[in-house]
Structure 1
Amino acid sequence: MARIAFILLCHKDPKAVVAQAQRLTAMGDYISIHFDARARPEQFEEIRAALKDNPSVAFAARRIKCGWGEWSLVEATLQAVMAAVEKFPRATHFYMLSGDCMAIKSAEYAHAFLDAEDVDYIESFDFFESDWIKTGMKGDRLHYRHFFNERRHKLLFYANHGLQKRLGLRREVPQDIRVMIGSQWWCLRRRTIEWILDFVRARPDVVRFFRTTWIPDETFFQTLVPHLVPDAEIRRRTLTFLMFTDYGMPVTFYNDHYDLLLSQDYLFARKISPGATELKQRLGELFVSSESTFQISNEGRSLFEFLAGRGRIGRRFSPRFWETESTLGRERELMIVVCKKWHVAKRILDRIRTVTGLPCIEYLFNEESCPLPDLGGIQATIEKRTRHRRSLMRMLFDYYDSNRLVICLDPSSIDLMRDFYADRSTTKMLEVECSFSKPFLIGHAKRVRLAGDRTPPDTLDALLPTIRSDFVYESDQIRDSGFAHVYRLQEEGSVDDNLLALARFLDIPENRAREIAETGYLFVD
């Protein structure tokens, strides 16, 4: 059975460190602690005194003064790893943690998970070819020597960097090493750890290289593991659930995130708020329990992106459009059917096509699989369609040899609507107002991956009002935009009211509009 040696790097809150160590060793596992040498000596002595009688606890032989982005973090990790290898010969896995991490599964589940596959878990992506680094310094992290901490000595850091560039002191990566990058929160097998320690002793040149790279805790282990271990024995993922905001700051979890955390396909989570005492207590009790079955829905990241993204639409970031292409044509008429229930809109389009003969295209800017003619590749992806939307629409008018065209848009596509209404062509809109039942809202959440088949009912109940509110917000945006020629087809409306809206929208006689409005199955879910 798997026995885990947790590698804990910490720098504050001795009581929390002691509690974490006692909790993690309660089920037969081990822990090796490195407490930052920058912390007050009495804090470290408090930890040692509280844990001195626990045989499953080890301490790094040498404490390092750690700084963010420095080699010191890797050195501290190696010190803790060496202590764990020496003291815990029965440890099968070594799991990197911080003081802000907590288990989100039971120890029993974690052991079974690690026993299931004889592999290492570490994010490891090509440093130069991947897009793991989103902003800031990239190649210069490696190609120049960094002797100063960017956070504590910013002027010296950039002066040293600039001087090396001016003097042409660029260095190359060791020839037999392919530098990789990823999260520092890994879980490695004992054999892999021993190979890494052997490599460190045998290759001082590689160690020297990483000593002066910037943020080596994201590259050192991530480079050595695929260098030493067959690719088939590596799972390029972390077992610690963590997310970052748009500003590069870790997302913090609080008391009301318990059910969400348990449903993620991870063993630990980072980072837990220091004040989330209820969450800590519940997770601590879970870790020592015999619970071995968890409903994994894994919707955490998509939920966060959804909820964070709501603040961006007209409230935090202005809409951006990079295309100012020429008009669709003053003589042309674009008719947009806007509906949140795509199946309803598609039925309406089918009836419009049958009754009027007008060319109709479904959700071409929302649905990748929307059938479109071959237009030389511009239609290949949603990204291309959106980027070159006016060119695409002109080509579609030409392809169908018509000055009138009907398309569908999701109500969230407000920027596309504004762009088309700003054109010299005539633009009309038919907003289809539907009722949204709870089953539909649940289905929608699953379709857009905000939820899964195993999402807990409590999470769904909390999510559905937000989704319903978003639907209302999207409709309000359309009304507040002041678009001309907007007509509304209502699920609860009468046939007479709906046929008038259709007649004006399509500019057809009322008797033909009635053929569409009287279709009995339009709004069936």
Structure 2
Amino acid sequence: MAKIAYLLLCHKDPEGIIAQAQRLTAVGDFVAIHFDGRAKAADFDKIHSSLAANPNVVFTKRRAKCGWGEWSLVEATLMAVEAAVDAFPRATHFYMLSGDCMPIKSAEFAQKFLDREEVDYIESFDYFNSDWIKTGIKEERLIYRHYFNERTHKKLFYASMHWQDKLGLTRKVPADIAMQIGSQWWCLRRRTVESVLEFTKKRRDVMRFFRTTWIPDETFFQTIVRHIVPEHELRTRTLTFLMFTDYGMPVTFYNDNYDLLISQDYLFARKISPDAKDLKDRLGKLYAAKGVRFAISNEGRSLFKFISGRGRVGRRFAPRFWETESSLGRHRTLMMVTCKKWHVAKRLVERVRQVTNLPALDYLFNEASTPLPDLGGIQSTLEKRTRHRRALMRVLFDYWQTDQLVVCIDPANVDLMQDFYNDKAKVRLLEIECDFTDDYLIGHAIRVGLASESTPKDTIERLLPTIRYDVKFEGDRIRDAGFPNLLRVRQSASIDENTVPLAEFLDISPEKAREIAATEYLFVD
């Protein structure tokens, strides 16, 4: 059975560190602690005196003074690894943790999980070809020698790079090393960490290189492990659940996130708020529990993206330079159908095709699979369709040799609607108002990844009002936009009531409009 040695890197909250170590060792696992050399001596003394008698806890022989982005973080990790390897010969796995991490599964679950496969868990992506680095310098992290910290000595940091470039002092990555990058929160087998320690003693050239790279905690272990471990024994993922905001800051979890956290496909989570006492207490008890069954729904990231993005509606499609003078044509009419229930809009436009013979398209700006003729490649991806939307519409008008075209557009695409309304062509908009039951909204949440079949009921109940409001909010945005020629059909309206707006929208006779409105299965879910 797996025995885990946790490598705990920390710099604050002595009470939390003590509780963390006691919690992890109470079930038979081990902890190696590195407490930042810059932290208060009194805090370290408190931790050391409280845990000194615990045989499953060891401290590093010395304390490095750590700085974000510096080699000192890797140095501290290596010291913790060495201490754990020497002190705990029965440890089978070595798991990186910070003081902000908490278990979100039981120790029993974690042991069975690690016993399942003889592999290492570490994010390890190609440094140059992956998009792991979202912002900031990339190649410069490696080809220059970094002696200053960007956060504390910004001017010196960038001046040093400038002069190295000017004097031709750039360097190359060691020839036999394929540079990798990924999260620093890994879990490695014993033989892997022993091989890493052996590598550090033999390859002094590689060690010298990494000592002056920038943010080496995201590259050192990720590169070395990939170098010494066969591909089939690696799982390129972390077992610690963490998320980042759009600003690159870690998401912090609080007391009300318990159900969300334990349903994720991870063993630990960071960052847990120091003030989330109830959450820490519940997760601590969970780690020691036996026989707990976990329903893994794994919707955390998509749920966070959905919730945090609700207020960001200030985007718009700026006119492209090649479209400044372009138009669909003054003599043409574009009819847009919008409905959150895509299947309802698709049924409506299918009936429009059958009854009127007007060319009508499904959600061509939302679904890549929407059937389209070969238009020379402009239709090949959603990105191209959206970027060249007016050109695409002109080509479609020409392809069908028509002056009238019906298209479906999602209610969230108000900016796209506005762009077409700004055209010289005649534009009309038909909004289909549907009833949304709780069951439908739950199904919608599952389809878009906000939940799964195993998401706890309490989480679903908290999520439902937000989803319902989101649907209503999209309708409100359409009304607030003040679009002319906006017509509306409703699921709750009668056939006669829906016939009038349909006839006006499609510019057809009331008899044909009634034939469409009378479609029995139109609103069926």
Q: Which interval holds the TM-score relative to the shorter structure?
A: over 0.9
Matches within 5 A, 1:454-493: 454-493=454-493
| SS of equivalent residue, structure 2 residue 340 | coil
- 1:348 is matched by which residue type in structure 2? L
Give the 4+ runs in structure 1 shifted more than 4 A.
Answer: none
- Specify the alignment match of 2:260 in structure 1: 260
- Specify the alignment match of 1:64 in structure 2: 64
- Specify the alignment match of 1:81 in structure 2: 81
Deviation at 1:291, TM superposition (A): 3.6
- Please give the alpha-carbon distance, in whole angstroms, between the structure 2 residues aligned to 1:203 and 1:520: 75
The alignment yields a C-alpha RMSD, in angstroms, of: 0.9
Among 313, 316, 319, which residue is 2:316 paired with? 319
Alpha-carbon displacement from aligned partner over 1:285-317 (angstroms, at most 9, x marks no partner): 000001442111100000011111111113xxx
Matches within 5 A, 1:30-49: 30-49=30-49
Matches within 5 A, 1:403-422: 403-422=403-422
Q: Structure 2-normalised TM-score?
A: 0.98
- 1:229 is matched by which residue type in structure 2? V
| SS of equivalent residue, structure 2 residue 310 | helix
Alpha-carbon displacement from aligned partner over 1:51-104 (angstroms, at most 9, x marks no partner): 011100011111100000000000000001000000000000000000000000
| SS of equivalent residue, structure 1 residue 19 | helix
CA contact (8 A) 2:263 2:297 kept: yes
- 2:524 is matched by which residue type in structure 1? V
- Specify the alignment match of 1:378 in structure 2: 378
- 2:412 is matched by which residue type in structure 1? S
| SS of equivalent residue, structure 1 residue 475 | helix
- Specify the alignment match of 2:228 in structure 1: 228
- 2:143 is matched by which residue type in structure 1? H
- Please give the alpha-carbon distance, in whole angstroms, between the structure 2 residues aligned to 1:169 and 1:250: 35
- Please give the alpha-carbon distance, in whole angstroms, between the structure 2 residues aligned to 1:135 and 1:355: 53
- Specify the alignment match of 2:336 in structure 1: 336
Deviation at 1:374, TM superposition (A): 1.2
- Please give the alpha-carbon distance, in whole angstroms, between the structure 1 residues aligned to 2:307 and 2:209: 42
Matches within 5 A, 1:441-460: 441-460=441-460
- 1:476 is matched by which residue type in structure 2? D
Q: Structure 1-normalised TM-score?
A: 0.98
CA contact (8 A) 2:317 2:419 kept: no
Gaps of 5+ in 1: none
- Specify the alignment match of 1:118 in structure 2: 118
- Please give the alpha-carbon distance, in whole angstroms, between the structure 2 residues aligned to 1:297 and 1:516: 41
| SS of equivalent residue, structure 1 residue 310 | coil
| SS of equivalent residue, structure 1 residue 205 | helix
Deviation at 1:321, TM superposition (A): 3.3
- Please give the alpha-carbon distance, in whole angstroms, between the structure 2 residues aligned to 1:114 and 1:503: 64
- Specify the alignment match of 2:271 in structure 1: 271
- Please give the alpha-carbon distance, in whole angstroms, between the structure 2 residues aligned to 1:118 and 1:327: 61
| SS of equivalent residue, structure 1 residue 312 | coil
- Specify the alignment match of 1:401 in structure 2: 401
Deviates more, 1:283-292 or 1:88-97: 283-292
Deviation at 1:320, TM superposition (A): 4.3
Deviation at 1:322, TM superposition (A): 5.8
Deviation at 1:390, TM superposition (A): 1.1
Gaps of 5+ in 2: none
Matches within 5 A, 1:282-293: 282-293=282-293
- Please give the alpha-carbon distance, in whole angstroms, between the structure 2 residues aligned to 1:209 and 1:424: 61
| SS of equivalent residue, structure 1 residue 498 | helix
- Specify the alignment match of 1:212 in structure 2: 212
- Specify the alignment match of 1:364 in structure 2: 364
| SS of equivalent residue, structure 2 residue 46 | helix
Identity of aligned residues (%): 65
The alignment status of 1:524 with 2:524, answered yes or no, reads yes
Deviation at 1:149, TM superposition (A): 1.1
- 2:503 is matched by which residue type in structure 1? A
- Please give the alpha-carbon distance, in whole angstroms, between the structure 1 residues aligned to 2:328 and 2:377: 19
Alpha-carbon displacement from aligned partner over 1:115-158 (angstroms, at most 9, x marks no partner): 00000000000111000000001000000000011111112111
- Please give the alpha-carbon distance, in whole angstroms, between the structure 1 residues aligned to 2:71 and 2:524: 62
- 2:318 is matched by which residue type in structure 1? F
- Please give the alpha-carbon distance, in whole angstroms, between the structure 2 residues aligned to 1:360 and 1:155: 59
- Specify the alignment match of 2:196 in structure 1: 196
Pairs aligned (count): 522
Deviation at 1:340, TM superposition (A): 0.6
Deviation at 1:421, TM superposition (A): 0.5
| SS of equivalent residue, structure 1 residue 110 | helix
Alpha-carbon displacement from aligned partner over 1:223-281 (angstroms, at most 9, x marks no partner): 00110000000000000000001111000000000000011000000000000000000
